Amino acid sequence: MRERLFSSRTVDEPSRIERAFYHVALIVACIALVTPFLYVISASLKESTSLFEYPPKLVPFPPYFGHYERLVSDSPFPRWMANTLFVATIVTVAKVFLDSLAGYAFAKLNFVGRNAFFLLMVAMLLVPYGAIILPLYAVVHAIGIHDTYFALILPPLCNPLGVFLMRQVISMLPKDLDNAARLDGVSEFGIYRRIILPLIKPSLVVVAVITFTEMFMSFIWPLVAVRDQDLQVLTVGVASMRNMTSVNFGLWSAAAVLGMVPLALAFFLFQRQFQARSIAGALKQ
Amino acid sequence: MADHRRLRRRWVLQRNLTGWAFVAPVGFFFVLFLLIPVLGVFWWSTQSGRLLGGNEFVGLDNFGRILTSIEASGALRTTVLFALFSVPAIIVIAMVLGMSLARVKRGATVYRFMVYFPVLVPPIVIGLIWVFLTHADFGLFNVVLRAVGAEPVNWLSTTNALPVVAAADIWRSVGYWAIFFLAAFLGLPRELYEAAHLDGANTIRRFWYVTLPGIRNILLLAVLMATIWALQVFEIVLVLTRGGPGTATRTAVYYVWWYVFGDGQVGLGAAISVLLLVVILAMSLAVVRLIRVRQA
């Protein structure tokens, strides 16, 4: 992608005015996109009372860390964060394993009902969570896992997107690879484990990034799935801070800032895979 | 001969078992937590009564009630209006940004990071950030207005709330689609541009005659996905306006949640969910058809 961007553009070089336009558009967009974050960070470093001062201090000096201290030492926030990271990590690991397993079978094995079942999964690709929370809650209630970690971890495993992506990637690998191994007497699981998995590592990371991000952000299902205060995840907890007797805006802004940290960190580590997240949609064609 | 057949049968059986063994783990969760709930929502849309027990079959009454209930039809209208506000703006802005990202060299990495950043923020936190932008007293918008000597505005009033919620959604989504379009633009064959350039086509013509047809399918897909996501807007509404003032920003998913888990009116909630599913399915099929027609 990058090579393409920077390679020879001798014939098709944008003119000076054109390039100026692109820069102006990007700078305007960046200012509009970044300023609100800075404003919230600034608000989180002020005492709640000085938030209402006019004119506002845009750069609070000296910064006040009281909200962060209270959030970390005297609020359920650390518990929310731990729950989110715990649930998201388990789901991500499980998804990467299960999706690649199924993707391998859909791409390389032949069995009765394969195409029908795959089509069924693809057809459900776009079903929104918001539309099925009610029966999903009934199912979870019926098997008795409501108000447990299982209610947060098991239902998200149903998402067919990872299976779909894995099948696309694995079916692009040459047939001779697995056929040769099969002739050598390697079991199907051995082929999956020792030949396919090492070859699709980059795509596994993409699926992991997609799953983790989605889990970190998910809200409506955790909201209805658990009532127990000890099981609340970050998003639900932060939203519930509004319902507390009086909204403490300072505390709230600090929670917002800390809530952004994990994914921002992950983004620095896996930049390329994150952008592939945007592009994964295009694969669906 | 018979031996051979028996062997073959065993081989086929084993092949099927192996295949299903690989698919079964995901398949199990898929059926239990996605397929059954989707069927369940259709079943529930024909029921009256509460979430756990006490149901009665009422046929299509719930769908009739959507039309007669001011609240339910209002929620649908709000959702459609929201999508009409947000989707075109998202697509146009994202295309301009994606195009720009594809064409600049200096600072490309920094731009990309900043454009993408809001995408990494949970929608709940986006709603919260917008509380700090729209608050009457200390919100950034009014701070700016006061600084330039203008009257502060009530950003979350009955008339303003929905456009403001849409603006928050646009603000959050453009980065995602900008990177998406960036990838699409970079995937176009450069020879076409060189040919167009040699033919003396200017930038606007090149965009109209080369770029746009080249990304037609991807554009259709983006419009479809952005619309589907817009129809599900929930978190931003919950944090920013709680569906209010009054019912001004009560969207379909908000309404389903509020009705089912607050009010216990399961049937009506399910009927709205079915409507949502059917609309999404119809739009998806239409887009798939449009894409196929072009390829054939």
User: Residues A146-184: pLDDT tens digits?
Assistant: 899 999 999 999 999 999 999 999 999 988 888 888 888
User: What 3 state SS string does A215-264 have?
Assistant: HHHCCHHHHHHCCCHHHCCHHHHHHHCCCCCCCCHHHHHHHHHHHHHHHH
A64 to A41, A45, B124, B249: CA distances (angstroms): 11, 5, 25, 35
**pLDDT tens sequence across A66-109:** 889 888 888 899 999 999 999 999 999 999 999 999 999 999 99
B129, burial (CB in 10 Å: exposed 0-12, middle 13-18, buried 19+) = buried
- The backbone torsions φ and ψ at residue A109, rounded to the nearest 5 degrees and listed phi first, read -105, 160
Beta strands B56-57; B47-48: pairing state: antiparallel
- Of B258 and A55, which is predicted with more confidence? B258
Residues 6+ apart with CB under 8 A from B79: B230, B231, B233, B251, B252
Query: What's the mean per-residue pLDDT of chain A?
Result: 86
Instruction: Tell me phi and psi for residue B47, to 5 degrees.
Output: -115, 155
Q: How far is A31 from chain B (nearest CA, A)?
A: 9
| pLDDT at B83 (0 to 100) | 94
Question: Could you give the C-alpha distances from A250 to A71, B35, B118, B241, in angstroms and in order?
Answer: 10, 43, 21, 19
Whole-number pLDDT of residue A94:
97
Tokens standing for A1?
């992608």
Predicted complex ipTM: 0.87
Model confidence pLDDT, tens digit, residues A97-136: 999 999 999 999 999 999 999 999 998 888 888 888 888 9
Q: Which helix (H) or strand (E) holds B293?
A: helix B266-295
Give Dmax (Cα) for chain A.
Answer: 78
What number of residues does chain A have? 285
Distance CA B189, CA B214 (A): 9
Q: Chain B, 222-281: which have a CB under 8 Å from a chain A CB?
A: 222, 225, 228, 231-232, 234-235, 238-239, 252-253, 256-257, 260-261, 266, 269-270, 273-274, 276-277, 280-281
Residue A28: its pLDDT value, please?
94
| B22:A121 CB<8 A | no
Please tell me the distance from the alpha carbon of residue B73 to that of residue A142, in angstroms, as a whole number. 32
**Residue A8: per-residue pLDDT:** 46
How far is residue A104 from each of residues A176, A189, B229, measured CA to CA in Å?
Answer: 15, 10, 30
**DSSP helix, strand, coil percent of chain B (3-state; round to 5):** 75, 0, 20
Residue of B nearest to A12 (CA): B194
A55 min Cα distance to partner chain B (Å): 8
Nearest to B65 by CA among B278, B289, B290, B272: B272
Quick: pLDDT tens for A189-245: 999 999 999 999 888 988 998 899 999 999 999 998 998 989 999 999 998 887 655
At residue A258, the pLDDT reads 93
Asked if B261 lies within 8 A of A224 by C-beta distance, the reply is: yes
Q: Which segments in chain B show pLDDT lower than 50?
A: none
> Using one digit for the tens of pLDDT, what is the confidence trace for B9-66?
888 898 899 999 999 999 999 999 999 999 999 988 888 776 666 677 887 888 888 8
Note whether A124 contacts B41, CB cutoff 8 Å.
no
What does the DSSP 8-state code read for residue B136? T
Q: Could you count the other beta carbons within 10 Å of the beta carbon of residue B47? A: 19
Q: Which residues of B touch A110 (CB under 8 A)?
A: 15, 19
**Cis, bond preceding A156 (omega within 30 deg of 0):** no
Which tokens belong to A264? Answer: 């921002």
Q: How many CB atoms lie within 10 A of CB A82?
A: 12
